[in-house]
Amino acid sequence: MGPRIYVFYRSAVELCVPMSLSNALLNELNDKLSELLGSRTVIDDHAPIGGGSINDAWKVVTRSGAFFLKNNRVDRFPSL
């Protein structure tokens, strides 16, 4: 089976905090990952990944595995 790709969309500006993910976004990610994986998961750690110019990129580590997250600010890029 090939890799799975999960995409999360969130339009609220307050969810993007430089060099950190807000508690609101982490809670939303926990809920969505738990729903997609079929069992409750917990985010243990997250870290920014460099290289992007439009999106912020993050490694999100859970008890169910590691995931890649990219997000951007709706006020900076309203058409994305």
Residue 71 predicted with pLDDT over 60: yes
Residue 35 predicted with pLDDT over 50: yes
Weakest mean pLDDT among 47-51, 67-71, 72-76: 72-76
| CA–CA distance, 64 with 59 (Å, rounded to integer) | 13
Where residue 80 falls among pLDDT bands split at 50, 70, 90? low
| Prediction pTM value | 0.65
Residue 19's pLDDT is: 62
Instruction: Kindly report, residue by residue over 39-48, the tens digit of the pLDDT.
Output: 998 999 998 8
